[in-house]
Amino acid sequence: MTQHRGHLVVVGNGMVGQRLVEAVRERDAGHGWRITVLGEEPRPAYDRVALTSYLTGTSAEELSVVPEGCYTDEHCVLHVGDPAVAVDRDAKTVTTASGRVVEYDALVLATGSSPFVPPIPGADADGCFVYRTLEDLDAIRERAGTAGTGAVVGGGLLGLEAANALRSLGVATHVVEFAPRLMPAQIDQGGGEMLRRKIEELGLTVHTATATQQIEALDDGRLRMVFADGDPLDVGMVVFSAGIRPRDQLARDCGLEVGERGGIVVDEGCRTSDPNIWAIGECALACGKIYGLVAPGYDMAEVVADRLVDGDAAFTEADMSTKLKLLGVDVASFGDAHAATPDALEVVYADPVAGVYKKLVVTDDASTMLGGVLVGDASAYAALRTMVGQPLPDTPEQVLMVGPATSSLDDAAQVCSCQNVSAGTIRAAINDEGCCDVASVKACTKAGTVCGSCVPLIKTLIAQSGVEVSTALCEHFEMSRAELFDVIRVTGARTFSEIIARHGTGRGCDICKPAVASILASLDSGHILDGEQAALQDTNDHFLANLQRNGTYSVVPRVPGGELTPEKLIVIGEVARDFGLYTKITGGQRIDMFGARVDQLPAIWKRLVDAGFESGHAYGKALRTVKSCVGSTWCRYGVQDSTSLAIMLELRYRGLRSPHKLKSGVSGCARECAEARSKDFGIIASENGWNLYLGGNGGFNPRHAVQFAVDLSTEDLVRTIDRFLMFYIRTADRLQRTAAWMEALNEEHGDGLEYLRRVIVDDELGICADLDAAMQRHVEAYADEWAAVLEDEEKLSRFVSFVNAPDVPDPSIQFVTERDQIRPADQSPSDGPVPIAGPELEVVRR
């Protein structure tokens, strides 16, 4: 039963505030907290770290860090363009600029920081800007069109980012820094000089140890910067990017404790002086410091999320190690970069010709790494970072010149396309953040949290980093998925409660529950919505439909081989018309209908089942389609009847649950119109039979299937595919596609294809009869899942939007018309949240 914790209000929707919302929702899946977010800017959270890319073509939408579906229900609401202006701690309310009053049980301040503008006379003149928001960049871009020359006050990280922005706009740029070197907080004098040299080679002018005393507005609209020493500088615009100041006024006004130099004082749990209020990110004074990097802010968000669900996570001194690329120059610092440790020694290598500067800081006996600085070449950063505080394996100069051993996989290689996470990012999570397993890499980088197809590669990266990879399914099962499959198959256990009691620990999680559900379904253990199994399913399987971005579902009836009678085509058209659904031909020769509310699904499927359709399993980790060309029946080039074979195979393997989705194709000749070699198992006709290809896939890393057998008879072909699928189902990791599974066989057995041939053709393991029997049991036991739902009132009772108002449709679902069909309405942020039902009806979403 969900523990209703109350109303959580988050003030601020920047990157850190957004991370908090996602972290709370991940930990609080039962919606114990109802969340309201109050954002000051006119749009949801965006990637402020990549702000400069906005000036080079990246759109505001592309910069967004808010995942689809985050603010689509009454449990989590975002108000943008309406900043909080007052907190009443006694009444426990927050008042916004529009007059909205929001009550809270827990309040998190994530108000961030504001740009520091030095108290210089004339700093508010027309043509002076700060560099913080997309609106700031819009104003900078407009001015840059006529400025010609510009200056950035500040030579730190933010200042160099702003300088890069002006340069990208075609402005001749000066960088003015008060300190004697660039990036004084991150790198030393030698590194600063090398960075200056590299930046000036790009055409920028750098002024260090320069204090701006005044800015004068000239008659021609330009600005004159007057310095304490040296000649003045006339420019068309000035951008202040000289640091940040915590935005703590809201806390001050309501009497929270703040630091002497600003910042909301928080303890190790990020709780303020009021036990009901937390503060995170750049507004918080944690461990006596204001942290100006996003990573510590994310850490604080995770800590507060854990505390809000009764955890005891703590925020301690954050690691300020960082690796950046500024104006095309690699810059990194880690550990004790400034040699502040007593008696520390510095080992320095400098190559002015190549523009490379490297420094290691070591103990006085040169036995232990303390820190370092890298400019121009930071390729060894990730590995060196892991050595801080550790004994040096070689002499410091050897480590400095050669660097520690690194993997050959390029850092820029994309591992997770869903979240756009590179191999370098994952390595940084492993090496810098201490992630040692897939779960921690997911939590740190978000890689693998959407489709999961990159999980095997994440494991490989972890292994390449020297971390021993556990084969445990999760913390509740020490066995791998393959081992757990065999245990369940042999023992005959058929409920999750029995399985975890006998072979695991705890109550299970969102990793092991769907995995066990898949195993039970593969073993033909009844309908997936029967009894306890229903609670194990993920969102799609729970409602036997694919959840879409606006909370509606898609309906995909099976169309074997793409063959469809006119009568059935008419039924699909009538259903789509009568329920107002968006219709689209899929790439797998089916018709997809979008926009169905959960309460409409039974009525839709009643019409389809009555017309002879059955579930297409588009929602499940199961066989999706067997695509086909028309083959020899119609095509003058066809050499075999590909359509008949495709229909037979799809009907044979329909409903077959597996570690990942399965797709197939049958081409009637070598012209390959069905694209069989991009499928998990593909068949291409030959003059003498069928050629079988295994282990292809589309998705995040498309791969061609490899030829496994040639000129097979239909009987031999089906038997081989039967065994291939059953062996894959038994031995693959969770969410591991056949292509990745076969690559794993290569790693384990040298020649994975030959090993597979020995197993499923030569019967080297003596299991072929068992595999044959398992497939035959599946074929004989198959029953359409939707037909079974329609015959069971208990199962039908699940298909409601609100458990305590089953007849009330979800009013938050809205559509607009485009190209004569519906599409989800993109709710305008200024409209606020869509109200649910009415003032008299409290609804609880299932």
Q: Which residues are annotated as a binding site for siroheme?
A: 673
Q: In the 8-state DSSP scheme, what is residue 31?
A: -
Q: Which residue numbers belong to the known binding site?
A: 629, 635, 669, 673
**How far apart are the C-alpha atoms of 794 and 545, rounded to whole Å?**
18
| DSSP bridge partners of 58 | none
**How far apart are the C-alpha atoms of 663 and 654, rounded to whole Å?**
11
**Count of other CB atoms within 10 angstroms of residue 284:** 32
**How far apart are the C-alpha atoms of 301 and 283, rounded to whole Å?**
12
Burial of 837 (0-12, 13-18, 19+ CB in 10 A): middle
Q: Rounded to 5 degrees, what are φ and ψ at 827? A: -65, 130
Q: Is 8 helix (H, G, I), strand (E, B) or coil?
A: strand
| DSSP bridge partners of 109 | 11, 279
- Contact of 808 with 843, CB cutoff 8 Å: yes
The C-alpha angle with vertex 72 and arms to 71 and 77, in degrees rounded to 5, equals 45
Give 497's contacts (C-beta < 8 A, 6+ positions apart): 532
Handedness of CA 701, 707, 708, 709 (dihedral sign): positive
- Contact of 234 with 246, CB cutoff 8 Å: no
**How far apart are the C-alpha atoms of 89 and 106, rounded to whole Å?**
11
Burial 6-43 (b: 16+ CB within 10 A, else e): ebbbbbbbbbbbbbbbbbbbebbeebbbbbbbbbbbeb
The enclosing H or E element of 631 equals: helix 631-634
**How far apart are the C-alpha atoms of 204 and 164, rounded to whole Å?**
9
Nearest by Cα to 8 from 21, 18, 19: 21
The per-residue DSSP string of 713-737 comes to -HHHHHHHHHHHHHHHHHHSPTT--
**How far apart are the C-alpha atoms of 17 and 79, rounded to whole Å?**
13
Give 792's contacts (C-beta < 8 A, 6+ positions apart): none
Nearest by Cα to 430 from 409, 450, 452, 401: 409
**Helix/strand number for the chain, H first, E second:** 27, 38
Handedness of CA 410, 458, 326, 347 (dihedral sign): negative
**How far apart are the C-alpha atoms of 417 and 419, rounded to whole Å?**
5
Nearest by Cα to 623 from 493, 725, 739: 725
Q: Rounded to 5 degrees, what are φ and ψ at 783? A: -145, 145
**How far apart are the C-alpha atoms of 761 and 766, rounded to whole Å?**
10
Q: Which residue numbers belong to the known binding site for [4Fe-4S] cluster?
A: 629, 635, 669, 673
- Contact of 637 with 671, CB cutoff 8 Å: yes
Q: How many residues does the chain have?
A: 846
The enclosing H or E element of 553 equals: strand 553-555
Q: Is 199 helix (H, G, I), strand (E, B) or coil?
A: helix
- Contact of 177 with 206, CB cutoff 8 Å: yes
| DSSP bridge partners of 348 | 359
- Contact of 240 with 219, CB cutoff 8 Å: no
Alpha helices in 734-781, H assignment, sequence order: 738-749, 752-760, 768-781
**Count of other CB atoms within 10 angstroms of residue 402:** 10
Q: In the 8-state DSSP scheme, what is residue 593?
A: E
